[in-house]
Amino acid sequence: MDAREKAVPGAYIEIINVYSVATIPLTARDLLEIGSFTRENILAWMGRQRTPDWAEVLPATDFHAVCGDIDIPWAHEGSKVEWDTIRERAKTKAAANAATAFEIAKQLDLKPPVVQ
């Protein structure tokens, strides 16, 4: 993997849209493409993203971005609360789905795969 493709520690964007939330780790390449780490540049950069993984999170209704000491807050006061609420709901749903899968596997007497 090219060093420009590795996530930069402490550099990420938390995104909220009408359907979901996501945390996007930023790579060195992302940071080069963004340029000066400002709300306007991040918005412009997000608008240029065309890969399938971005299709799930765009268009963003709001975002919070961090790069080292630079912390760009949510544009709207309620976005952080909404982000936390949706994130918690997703964690709860994932845990419930895992429990359901475990119960089904148990009922079918399926054994976990052996990792060698």
What distance in Å separates the CA atoms of residue 14 and residue 10, rounded to the nearest whole number? 12
| Lowest model confidence (mean pLDDT) among 6-10, 79-83, 101-105 | 101-105
* CB-CB contact of 17 with 67 (8 Å): no
Residue 95 confidence (pLDDT) above 80 = no
Tell me the Cα Rg of the chain.
18
Region 71-94 average pLDDT = 85
pLDDT band at 39 (very low <50, low <70, confident <90, very high): very high
Q: What pLDDT score does 66 carry?
A: 98
* CB-CB contact of 58 with 49 (8 Å): yes
Residue 93 confidence (pLDDT) above 80 = no
pLDDT band at 48 (very low <50, low <70, confident <90, very high): very high
